[in-house]
Amino acid sequence: MAEIIPLLMFVVVCLVLMAGYPVALSLSGTALIFALAGYVTGYFDMAFLHALPNRLFGTIKNTTLIAVPLFVFMGVMLEKSRLSEDLLDSMADLFRGFRSGLGLSVVIVGALLAASTGIVGATVVTMGLMSLPTMLKRGYSASQATGIICATGTLGQIIPPSIALVLLGDILSTAYQQAQLSAGVYTPKIVSIGDLFVGAIIPGLILVVLYSFYVLLCVKPSGAIVAADDDIAQPLVGERLSRAMRNLLPPIFLIVAVLGSILSGAATPTEAAGVGAFGATLLAMFRGQLSIARLREVAQTTTEVTSMVFLILIGAAVFSLVFRGFGGEELVEQFFTTLPGGLVAATVLVMVVIFLLGFVLDFIEITFVVVPIVGPVLLAMGLDPVWLGVMIAINLQTSFLTPPFGFALFYLRGVAPPSVATEDIYRGVVPFIMIQLLLMLMLSLWPTLATWLPAEIYN
């Protein structure tokens, strides 16, 4: 009976979350109910909960997590400064000569927004409101347009600076040290958020290139509508290029300032997040989009998102302590080590479980609940922490797109016109899901796609 309690805990918390209860309260409430029942029946030692104050104090002292509100502030400020609208207009003008130029513009702008904001929901909604009506008008089918928007909107999950990578990096850092200590290594190596940022750059760029090739080769808008649109007098190429550069240079400069300071070692990710938040504020000011009311709105949104993240982190801390108290970690380790196929089978199983959980849980819950459980075991079995982090991030990004419960699909459905059917959105994302699965296969065959650049830079 005692052996199945950890599994029962996990199943119950998933059911409670699917019922729509708040995540943080679901995690902590489920854990405390199981702890009380276990204490009464003699299966649980309350001494495990005595470690909770130290765990929370450790979270408060963790300077790495300061990057979360700073990157959120940066993303929200850029979203409110109307940067994406000007970017999309100028890029659409620049690629007007291509038959799928507007679709390619959406991919490029989505990648730039991902590298500037790192917030999936905001990017999908913004791109949906701006580009979906125009794409439909320009002859793109509903499935083509919605698929491109949903896929590019989720690039913020993998392209740094991503909130998902910040949270994953912090969790994997603890898991990596725990795995080394359990193996008797008392001077453990450290993996940082910066390592994960650098490791995600090449896979992120590959994904953007694959998206672009697919759009150029396979997405063909209606010829008659495109021809009619192109008959309208357009600005000269030089004027279009000049306008595009004026709108491209500020976000590119901000991206280079944030990622460049990390890559060069001039700043930690937390310090780079401060640079990004300050740079986004200056950019909004220079564009005439900064006011007291807007600053108050950005600060309020940042506070709400950050509070949600840290409250979930507290709930996850309670859940993990109770899970450990019931012997859950030993159960997971024993299961993985006795699984036929060894490390490969264990990794595939974890990826499948994370993918399925991504249908119903947000990436924050999966990061705080699942990764601390399976991470130390997989890392102790020999997986590279950077490779594991990048694979989990891409896996979660794929689950954002997968029908019928993908979060990106719900975001776009909320802003799409009634003429766009839900089935159109589902059909449109299928090719991009295949592309992301192809990228995961490439990373499995060539792990150096994620590990080579961090090794070159930091060694």
Q: Report pLDDT for 240.
A: 67
Range of the domain at 132: 2-458
Q: Per residue in 419-452, pLDDT tens?
A: 888 888 888 899 999 999 999 999 999 999 999 9
Q: Phi and psi (nearest 5°) for 269?
A: -55, -35
Q: Report pLDDT for 390.
A: 92
Spacing of C-alpha 169 from chain mean position: 12
Mean pLDDT, residues 272-300: 86
Q: Report pLDDT for 402.
A: 81
Q: Answer for the pair 372, 317: CB distance below 8 angstroms, yes or no.
A: no
For the beta carbon of residue 231, count every other beta carbon within 10 angstroms.
Answer: 8
pLDDT at 187 over 80: no
Confidence band of 2 (pLDDT split at 50, 70, 90): low
pLDDT at 140 over 50: yes
Q: Would the pTM of this model clear 0.85, i.e. be above it?
A: no
Share of the chain above pLDDT 90, in %: 10
Structure-token match 């119903």, residue found: 360
Q: Answer for the pair 388, 378: CB distance below 8 angstroms, yes or no.
A: yes
Alpha carbon distance 71, 302 (integer Å): 9
pLDDT at 181 over 50: yes
Question: Minimal CA–CA distance to 192: which of 202, 210, 177, 178?
Answer: 177
Instruction: Name the DSSP class of 50.
Output: G
Half-sphere exposure at residue 86, Cβ-oriented, CA atoms within 13 angstroms? 19
Q: Per residue in 219-267, pLDDT tens?
A: 887 764 554 455 444 555 667 677 767 777 777 888 888 888 877 778 8
Half-sphere exposure at residue 303, Cβ-oriented, CA atoms within 13 angstroms? 6
Q: Per residue in 76-111, pLDDT tens?
A: 887 777 776 777 777 777 777 667 788 888 888 888
Residue 141 CA: distances (Å) to CA of 5, 27, 132, 177? 50, 42, 10, 50
Spacing of C-alpha 286 from chain mean position: 29
Mean pLDDT, residues 202-219: 90
Q: How many domains, in total, are found in the chain?
A: 1
What's the mean pLDDT when you consider all of the chain? 81
